[in-house]
Structure 1
Amino acid sequence: MEESGPVHSGPAASSTVRRQDLDGLRGIAIALVVAFHVWAGRVSGGVDVFLVLSGFFFTGAVVRGVERRGVIAAKETARRTVRRLTPSLVVVLAAIVLATVILRPYTQLGETAAQTLASMFYVQNWYLATAELDYLAPDPSVSPLQHLWSMSVQGQFYVAILLVLAGWAWLRRRGRADRPGLLIALTALGLLSFWYATAGTAQHQAWTYYDSMARVWELLAGAALAVAAPWLRLPTRVRALAAVVGLAMVLTCGPLFDGANQFPGVAALWPVGAACLVIASGFGFADGPSAWPNRVLGGRICTELGTLAYPLYLWHWPILIFYLAESGRSHAGLVDGLVVIAISLVLAYATTRLIETPLRLPPRGRSHEGKQHRAAGVLVAATTVAVLVVTMGWQLVLAANPAVPPRELDAQRYPGATALLTGAEYSPEPMRPTVFEGGVDSPPPTTDGCITPSREVRVCTYGDPNAARSIAVVGGSHSEHWIPALEVLGAERGIRVISYLKEGCPVTLADQPSYAEWPFPECHEWSREVLDRLAADPPDWVLTLSTRYRQDGLGDEVPIEYLEVWSAMQERGLNVLALRDTPRLRRDGVLYRATDCLAHRGDPDSCGLDRASALAPADPALEPAAGFPNVHLLDLSDAVCRPQRCRVVEGNVLIYRDEHHLTASYARSLAPELGRQIGTITGWW
């Protein structure tokens, strides 16, 4: 979101004009970003337009500087860029940290501190990619810092392109490089990045969305246009057509594309191409009048909005997320959405007027402007120190007091599921795991690397490794969280538990299952190899899931893709233990963490949900499973939920470690009931 400046309009190096239409394009882009975030809950393509413009302005300014001076003015460029981007960012980060402390559960402070530091040091995109967070529609479960991934991508690009241009400047001084050579190099790098983005989007879009290498082609498209500007003298009619088509593409991107699930692959050519067309439509203004779209974009409304684009982008998302979190709503309506936008505009204007503008002006002694400059500088410096002290301090506190999940709980004091199933009395005890321990009370594959994030098939053994009886646990994390219960059974009953697990991947033979939010062929490929391995070395039983929650309704269901897997297993002679999935904590379609709810004045009952909203009255797998003699059903719903309510704590044991995964502690308390049902089916005991 680099500010605009003079842009070459002809071959003469000295011929420059200010592209007010591009200021206006930024205004239109930010309007679309805000509107689609607030009301549509999806990506508009506006951020992709910003990335193209940032590459265009930044690269153009540096290249022109090299041609004037012969060298990179690295310090000056860095100082200008930091002065432009950092003050507003620091102020918004401070506001987010303060709002989190005041308004949100204390269990969120650690995550907010970590993401604040990642945003301040421009690595937020990698933080999100590593955490494999999806760019979801805004709701209370989404981070108020999530939108800052794009700022991190830009910051990394600025450093990288400065290094590239420094090398070009060095070669240019020795007569070994010129603009055409630079253009070829940038184009080649852009094509390589586009190929990488296309391949990554098809394989693992959730990661690729935040990947700098997959995003850099969008910035390089603008950079290449900046380098090619002196030779792009387009006829008036061609410029007009480019302006009309480009603006139309910008306005229609959001409705036409589901950017959160399609970008930055082939679909991103639409917003990137749109921005490039509008940029190209301005080349040659000196030879004729600009087209009406350029005049509209260069008008006061669009350009004034463009002036606020950067701070408005920073403010609107956290304002929206905090509003949704405090109101308990899944989305904003017309009136409250307008209020969110109005507050964001006021804060953006104040940030521009009180922070950005004074700091861009040089201090002038005792003048009013000089006093404003010094006051803004002191405020930003103090805020920066405060943010760093608070976030780093909290991280140090957490590091010095790490949450350690309980390895084993006293069954008398912490009966867990046993109390729910038998009605046995027990004395109240402090909940274990605690709200801080809950998030790390995970099954062994999460910590020992036996659940793969990639295409690789990883096979691990738990329980009794020398046992003759064997159960293979196959699928994603909802299969994985039963491993602690199976470990107990394996040790007690002599069972070899073999894991075939992949993150976010129920076994499927479809490239894009009906329940998936984006194509995930890597899951399909992994599943086929797992089925082939199971057929080659068959266990006694294969344990996998039989149901899945309804994304757009109440209760649970059996996706058609699960039946395809059962058929494939039947063809391979595999006996299946099909386990009903556990409920997910949702209110009005919005997932929430049990630990956050408990830390935010909630109790085990209020933080739970009605059983009827999470589970169908009868196991929906009963009817379809009747057609598969190899499939035998397991249902432990009564060991997780009461007849009317699914609570988050039973028998003094926390059930959920997040929104929908069982804690290892509670899973271990499920071992007796799981063993009873398995024994009845298998006849092993």
Structure 2
Amino acid sequence: MEAAYTTTGDRPAPVLGGRRSARRTHRRDIDGLRGLAIALVVVFHVFVGKVSAGVDVFLLIGGIFFFAPQIRNALNPAGLTVVQSVLRIVQRLYPALLTVVSLVMLLALVVYQVSRWAQAGGDAASSLLYVQNLHLAAAGAEYSAVNRDVSLFQHIWSMSVQLQIYLGSLLVIVVFAAVSRWRGRTGGRLLHRTLSVATVLSFAYAVWLGAHDQAMNYYSPFSRFWEIGLGGLFGLWMVGRGIPWVWRWLRWPAGVLGLLLIVATGLFLDGAAQFPGPWTLVPLVGAVLVIAAGTPVLEPDGDRVRAAAEGRTVGSVGVTRLLEGRFFQFLGRISYSLYLWHWPLLVLATYLFSASAGTRGQGDGLAGITATLGTGRGVAVGTGVVVLSLVAAWLTHRYVETPLRQKGKPERSWMLWDRRYWAALLRSRAKVVTVAVLVVATAAVLSSERLVQVHTAGPALVVGEDSPEYDDYPGPQAFLEDAPVPDGVDVRPAAVWNKETMLPETALDGCLVEVEGEDLVLTHDQGSSDVPCVYGDTDSDRTMYLAGGSHSEHFLPALDIIGKERGIRVVPMVKMGCVLGMRIERMRGGDYGECYTWQDKATGYILDNPPTDGVFMTTTRPTARTGAGPDQVPDGYVDVVRRFSEAGIHTWGVRDNPWRQNNGELGNSMLCVADGGDPGECGPSAAELLEDNPALEAYRGLDITHVDLTAAYCRDGVCPAVVGNVLVYRDGNHFTPAWSAMLAPELSRQMYHPDSVEDLRRTVAEAVRATDGAGDGATAPALAPKDVRRLPKPEPVPEPGWVGPGYVDQGWVAPGWAEPAYAPPY
């Protein structure tokens, strides 16, 4: 978020564009602009809950003070080596980051339930490795994201982007400078032109990617490069020069206009949906105007820059004078540490003081603490967060940043094989202790996620009526057969995220197609292994396809058991967030071309290699993208089943389960249970389902067997998160593998020995219909379509793929459905 820079000194600046720039002086107004930027970030995070312009201003300023010094250094044969340059950046940024991350992890162990520790550890590790941006972007499409709550370290994405850009740019600068020296050229002009071209290309890429995948666009270093590159170009062209005397009157209006553009960004623009696209120019142009307004004025003869004693330029006016004041100077000095501290303290405070924080699914992160806690309480808690952040930031700046900051310019050295360097390091006890502490703390944080998972996974649950634990864990039989459920038994699997206990084997084996993939995966490890992706009776000649997205896939444990019992080989044909038969957009909008290509390949493969025992797939889906009901049947689903029927392929059509709703958004049942919530309140509402399965009419006349397991997990209008002491959901809508496996007997019965359709209708209606708790006095819930947030249909509307009026597809749904992880925090 902040680049190490020093602008003081009396060395002559390089010749740029044929003119020698004026003597470089310390720009206190830019320090103040940092203070303004961090103030916007904190205020908008705590009290507004929207993207401010602060981070984009930071990126621009970082570019200003990165490219010019690094280019000068690389062109100087006596300059620092690339190893020293990297170490200088890391030494400036990493100690404070490690300090904050380590202390926040300790706070998380005290404040959070055990269920949240592993996620916090994974996010902390991504932050220390400076890949948090990639971690968050992948989480939106990653199978294991499981509708995560807002991350404690979500804000570190911008620092990860910045360091990735710095390191990549530094390598390019060093290589170009070396080539230029080898060819006997100065190389400065070539590097400047290269930076210009790279900035323009990055901007064009950001515009393109924003229309196709805004989630990735927001976090991509390639999309964000142009903001830093623009700062670099501005620094090379403007910073260090003076404003001509005749233009001095423009400083005051330029500063005011620039300030207005920066502040207005967070109020009138939707940065989460629009940045780093063209609208990002609004705050960046504002920052450029503010910096230009603070540029010293040349004397009438143009020979030197007018400067006053104590580093304050003569004639500082308007916004410049404001930024050079004590308040913004103080904020500018602690801006890096303040940025590190404010977000995790805000998240922890919201968790502590809000009863619903554990299951919020709001896509834009925390919607302002006043929206969560109410005005009075929110203002009080938010103010406390700001004050505590300021204190923690000052202490971190005073006792970590300042003492460990590199003093002066060291002698040129490659360090790694420099005996003098290592001898000097080992002679200093303070340096040895500091390095040892950094290494130990880093190792502890990086290993925390795995350590938590190992010690909190709990014993595995052996499923089946023959299991010695069946009496304690009847699971779905508690609803289907009124099996007794003992009290005082720990829920299994434990409500702690662990891939081994929460994901089906397809995910663990790499037998599903990821979001960016469009080819079929028929062998383990995304097709790179020779081990075939088959389950059930793997040696059988009989075949069944498990087809679709995650809501088909979470039935794999049950089908694996059925396949072994009936001698059927189960072949998964699944892709993240994709289904067969209909056009689906990405969750954050944009064309999901990989899905369409995969659909054609999967459908073609099934038709060219027809199964002996049919295709298993979901036949309904919710109305809204958040999973809100009622459930409906898209025309595209019917069309693909019709194609299978015409080809002589039978379909096993399972009704989709309800999704947990929380304040109009997708909730997380597992975290709700882990936080001590009532299992009935933590689960979805059966009101998200129609009393009559809509698939029964939609597929009439086709070769399909309807399966409806609603009665196994819903009763009297409630679908608890725990049934028969077994955890039903790994998030807010996907079954745990243990629960899915325990559905095998009922699933097999409905597939091969079904009741009459009327018996099935009656059983499901009783499960969905709310009662007074005594089994009589039934009161049906309102099942009309709700006023929910929906995504528009793509234009033109593809055919087939959409049902009639009233249905709006909710967009592609990644397995695990990780909306919060997609959400930019600012």
Q: Tell me how far apart the structure 1 counterparts of residues 55 and 266 of structure 2 sit (CA, whole Å).
A: 11
Task: Please point out which of 324, 333, 346 is paired with 1:320.
Answer: 346
Change beyond 3 A, Cα 1:546–1:393: closer
- Which residue of structure 2 lines up, in the alignment, with residue 391 of structure 1? 445
Task: Please point out which of 562, 566, 577 is paired with 2:638.
Answer: 566
Change beyond 3 A, Cα 1:69–1:410: same
Q: Tell me how far apart the structure 1 counterparts of residues 261 and 599 of structure 2 sit (CA, whole Å).
A: 39
Deviation of residue 115 (structure 1)? 2.5
Task: Please point out which of 476, 479, 483 is paired with 1:420.
Answer: 479
1:621-673 Cα distance to aligned partner (Å, 9 max, x none): 35972688577653322212222432223234322223332111211111222
SS in 1 for 2:570: strand
Change beyond 3 A, Cα 1:469–1:128: same
Q: Tell me how far apart the structure 2 counterparts of residues 399 and 391 of structure 1 sit (CA, whole Å).
A: 14
TM-score by length of 2: 0.68
SS in 1 for 2:547: strand
Deviation of residue 612 (structure 1)? 4.4
Change beyond 3 A, Cα 1:173–1:291: farther
Superposition map of 1:521-532 within 5 A? 521-532=593-604
Mean CA deviation greater in 595-604 or 216-225: 595-604
Change beyond 3 A, Cα 1:542–1:84: same
Superposition map of 1:531-680 within 5 A? 531-537=603-609, 540-541=614-615, 543-548=617-622, 550=624, 555-558=629-632, 562-567=634-639, 569-570=641-642, 573=646, 577-589=652-664, 593-602=668-677, 604-605=679-680, 608-609=682-683, 611-612=685-686, 615-619=688-692, 621=694, 625=698, 633-679=706-752
- The one-letter code of the counterpart of 1:310 is Y
- Which residue of structure 2 lines up, in the alignment, with residue 106 of structure 1? 114
User: Is 1:405–1:440's contact at 8 Å kept on the other side of the alignment?
Assistant: no
Q: Is residue 88 from structure 1 mapped to residue 96 from structure 2 by the alignment?
A: yes
Relative contact order higher in (CA < 8 Å, ≥ 6 apart): 2
Change beyond 3 A, Cα 1:675–1:50: same
- Which residue of structure 1 lines up, in the alignment, with residue 518 of structure 2? 455
Q: Tell me how far apart the structure 1 counterparts of residues 280 and 700 of structure 2 sit (CA, whole Å).
A: 44
- Which residue of structure 1 lines up, in the alignment, with residue 394 of structure 2? 353
Superposition map of 1:187-202 within 5 A? 187-194=196-203, 196-198=205-207, 200-202=209-211
Change beyond 3 A, Cα 1:261–1:680: farther
Q: Tell me how far apart the structure 2 counterparts of residues 569 and 280 of structure 1 sit (CA, whole Å).
A: 64
Mean CA deviation greater in 385-394 or 576-585: 385-394
Deviation of residue 143 (structure 1)? 1.3
Change beyond 3 A, Cα 1:638–1:222: same
1:169-223 Cα distance to aligned partner (Å, 9 max, x none): 5456564233221111222333444455455545544445433344333322222
Mean CA deviation greater in 397-406 or 451-460: 397-406
Change beyond 3 A, Cα 1:634–1:346: same
Q: Tell me how far apart the structure 2 counterparts of residues 96 and 184 of structure 1 sit (CA, whole Å).
A: 43
Q: Is residue 433 from structure 1 mapped to residue 493 from structure 2 by the alignment?
A: yes
SS in 2 for 1:451: coil
Q: Is residue 492 from structure 1 mapped to residue 519 from structure 2 by the alignment?
A: no
- The one-letter code of the counterpart of 2:350 is L
Deviation of residue 421 (structure 1)? 0.7
Deviation of residue 446 (structure 1)? 0.4
Q: Is residue 482 from structure 1 mapped to residue 535 from structure 2 by the alignment?
A: no
Task: Please point out which of 220, 225, 228 is paired with 1:216.
Answer: 225
SS in 1 for 2:500: coil
Q: Tell me how far apart the structure 1 counterparts of residues 437 and 661 of structure 2 sit (CA, whole Å).
A: 37
Change beyond 3 A, Cα 1:517–1:541: same
Mean CA deviation greater in 466-475 or 419-428: 466-475
- The one-letter code of the counterpart of 1:455 is E
Change beyond 3 A, Cα 1:355–1:312: closer
Deviation of residue 505 (structure 1)? 2.7
Identical counterparts, % of pairs: 32
- Which residue of structure 1 lines up, in the alignment, with residue 504 of structure 2? 443
1:282-333 Cα distance to aligned partner (Å, 9 max, x none): 6674379788555655565555443443223222211221122221345421
Change beyond 3 A, Cα 1:231–1:605: closer
Task: Please point out which of 153, 165, 184 is paired with 2:161.
Answer: 153
Q: Tell me how far apart the structure 1 counterparts of residues 483 and 755 of structure 2 sit (CA, whole Å).
A: 28
Change beyond 3 A, Cα 1:536–1:280: farther
- Which residue of structure 1 lines up, in the alignment, with residue 791 of structure 2? none
Q: Is residue 473 from structure 1 mapped to residue 474 from structure 2 by the alignment?
A: no
- The one-letter code of the counterpart of 1:319 is L
Q: Tell me how far apart the structure 1 counterparts of residues 76 and 23 of structure 2 sit (CA, whole Å).
A: 13
Mean CA deviation greater in 463-472 or 451-460: 463-472
SS in 2 for 1:223: helix
Change beyond 3 A, Cα 1:62–1:14: farther
Change beyond 3 A, Cα 1:33–1:67: same
- The one-letter code of the counterpart of 1:434 is A
Q: Tell me how far apart the structure 2 counterparts of residues 494 and 141 of structure 1 sit (CA, whole Å).
A: 42
Q: Tell me how far apart the structure 2 counterparts of residues 221 and 617 of structure 1 sit (CA, whole Å).
A: 54
Q: Tell me how far apart the structure 2 counterparts of residues 287 and 634 of structure 1 sit (CA, whole Å).
A: 84
User: Is 2:536–2:567's contact at 8 Å kept on the other side of the alignment?
Assistant: yes
Q: Tell me how far apart the structure 2 counterparts of residues 47 and 628 of structure 1 sit (CA, whole Å).
A: 58
How many pairs does the alignment contain? 663
Change beyond 3 A, Cα 1:23–1:383: same
User: Is 2:619–2:637's contact at 8 Å kept on the other side of the alignment?
Assistant: no
Give the helix-richer structure, 1 or 2. Answer: 1
Deviation of residue 148 (structure 1)? 0.9
User: Is 1:508–1:524's contact at 8 Å kept on the other side of the alignment?
Assistant: no
- The one-letter code of the counterpart of 2:116 is Q
Q: Tell me how far apart the structure 1 counterparts of residues 641 and 395 of structure 2 sit (CA, whole Å).
A: 66
SS in 1 for 2:716: coil
- The one-letter code of the counterpart of 1:325 is Y
- The one-letter code of the counterpart of 2:445 is T
Deviation of residue 76 (structure 1)? 6.8
Change beyond 3 A, Cα 1:216–1:665: same
- The one-letter code of the counterpart of 1:217 is W
SS in 1 for 2:20: coil
Q: Tell me how far apart the structure 2 counterparts of residues 166 and 631 of structure 1 sit (CA, whole Å).
A: 65
- Which residue of structure 2 lines up, in the alignment, with residue 502 of structure 1? 575
Superposition map of 1:191-340 within 5 A? 191-194=200-203, 196-198=205-207, 200-229=209-238, 236=247, 246-255=258-267, 257-265=269-277, 268=280, 270-272=282-284, 274-276=286-288, 278-279=290-291, 285-286=297-298, 302-326=328-352, 327-329=354-356, 330=360, 331=367, 332-333=369-370, 334-340=375-381
List gaps (5 residues or longer) in structure 1.
364-373
1:363-393 Cα distance to aligned partner (Å, 9 max, x none): 9xxxxxxxxxx9x999988975774464356
User: Is 1:619–1:635's contact at 8 Å kept on the other side of the alignment?
Assistant: no
- Which residue of structure 2 lines up, in the alignment, with residue 366 of structure 1? none
- Which residue of structure 2 lines up, in the alignment, with residue 185 of structure 1? 194
Aligned-residue CA RMSD (Å): 4.4
Q: Tell me how far apart the structure 1 counterparts of residues 668 and 520 of structure 2 sit (CA, whole Å).
A: 30
Deviation of residue 104 (structure 1)? 0.6
Q: Tell me how far apart the structure 2 counterparts of residues 381 and 463 of structure 1 sit (CA, whole Å).
A: 53
User: Is 1:580–1:636's contact at 8 Å kept on the other side of the alignment?
Assistant: yes
TM-score by length of 1: 0.81
User: Is 1:83–1:360's contact at 8 Å kept on the other side of the alignment?
Assistant: no
User: Is 2:334–2:397's contact at 8 Å kept on the other side of the alignment?
Assistant: no
Change beyond 3 A, Cα 1:140–1:118: closer
Superposition map of 1:363-378 within 5 A? none
SS in 2 for 1:504: coil
